[in-house]
Amino acid sequence: MNGWQGPKLDAGPETFWEELHRNLAGSAKPPNQRLVEIAESLSPGVALDLGCGPGGDAIWLAQRGWRVTAVDISGTAVERVEAAAGELGLGDQVTGERHDLAHSFPTGTFDLVNAQYFHTPFALDRSRVLRTAAQALRPGGRLLIVDHGSVAPWSWNQDPDAHLPTPDEVAASLDLDPQQWTVLRAEMPQRRATGPGGQTATVIDNVLLIRRTEGDG
């Protein structure tokens, strides 16, 4: 596959993502590597998974004792995550919610907000959504943002000159009070990735980890 071959972009965001998930295999994928690196040493708490997709991250967290709200614009994705959790005996720990984050955001507060490859080809005030996520953190909670830092052969945007914001640029766009939120990690590590067609490539992850200050309420 040379470039993006998924649903048509003129379908609109809800139809686009729903069609994409309906065409995906039903089983959850393995968890994202950067989430595992960050969360495996954390004590379980309450987590929010933004753009949960097939649910690999939500299931992995639940298996380690987290209570997870898994959010996606696709009703199919949300249903599959809840079904997978139920089959594994984790139904009480995973709650699926359908949200178009351009218009609504889950209620509650969280010890971890996970935003893995939270990209879309559609108009979205991403900084506003991620700022809302940071404000939903409990004292001591963490916001993990992992973005694409390079163009892969299967990326929908094949423009080699496209600007992919660095972790520092993403942090600046959130405009968070440094007295209340601390950047713990802003790095651009490489990894070997496999695309939807089975092809592999070395890609860059832009990793930003932000922590809400203890005692801020």
Residue 53 lies in a domain: yes
Question: What's the pTM value of the predicted model, to 2 decimals?
Answer: 0.90
Residue 103 belongs to some domain of the structure: yes
pLDDT at 1 over 50: no
**Ramachandran quadrant class, 117 (left: phi over 0; alpha: psi -120 to 50; beta: rest):** left
Count of the separate structural domains present in the chain: 1
Give the pLDDT confidence of 73-118 residue by residue, as tens digits: 999 999 999 999 999 999 999 999 999 999 999 999 999 999 999 9
pLDDT for the residue 119: 85
For residue range 169-190, list pLDDT tens digits in order.
999 999 999 999 999 999 999 9
Which residues form the domain of 81?
9-212
What DSSP designation does 213 have? P
Whole-number average pLDDT of the chain: 89
Angle between helix 75-87 and helix 13-22 axes, rounded to 10 deg: 40
Does residue 3 belong to any structural domain of this protein?
A: no
Give per-residue burial for 51-73: e unless 16+ CB within 10 Å, then b: bbbbbbbbbbbbebebbbbbbbb
Helices (H) and strands (E) in the chain, counts: 6, 8
Instruction: Give Cα 78 to chain centroid, integer Å.
Output: 14
CATH code of the domain covering residue 20? 3.40.50.150
Report yes or no on 217 lying in a domain: no
